[in-house]
Amino acid sequence: MVKNFDEIQQFGKGNVDAALKSFGALSKSVQAIAVEVTDYSKKALEEGTAATEKLLGAKTLDKAIEVQTDYLKGAYEGFVTRAAKLSELYADLAKETYKPFETHLARPTAK
């Protein structure tokens, strides 16, 4: 019975350790995602403002259409690039958060 209690205690300690490691990984990943989203938002705002200024300064309809087309093309490409980056960050978040539990639960229990 003492042996079983020790095993249960070790397993519980392992769970707590895995949870703490998982929380640390979660914290780092969420912080990286927040930085990425903030950077993208800041850049999108700056590019939108610059495009609006160029659009207001356009002297002809053709120039206005050119400015708008360039802005939309750049905004779309930027969005796709950032979406791919965020997708990677979320995938890393899932992997890193699960990793401590994976190694802990994969260990065979001593009998």
The per-residue pLDDT for range 9-68, each reduced to its tens digit, is: 777 777 787 788 888 888 888 999 999 999 999 999 999 999 999 999 999 999 999 999
Report the Cα 79 to chain-centroid distance in Å: 14
Query: 73-79: long-range contacts at Cβ-Cβ below 8 A with a sequence spacing of 24 or more?
Result: 74/47, 75/44, 75/47, 75/48, 78/40, 78/43, 78/44, 78/47
Please give the structure tokens belonging to residue 87: 């997708």
Q: Tell me the Ramachandran region of residue 16: left when phi exceeds 0, alpha when psi lies from -120 to 50, beta otherwise.
A: alpha
What is the tens place of the pLDDT at every residue in 85-104?
A: 999 999 988 888 888 777 66
C-beta of residue 98 within 8 angstroms of C-beta of residue 26: no
CA distance to 52, 68, 88, per residue, from 64 (Å): 10, 6, 36
**pLDDT exceeding 90 applies to what percent of the chain?**
56
pTM over 0.85, yes/no: no
> 99: Cβ–Cβ under 8 A, 6 or more apart, which residues?
21, 22, 25
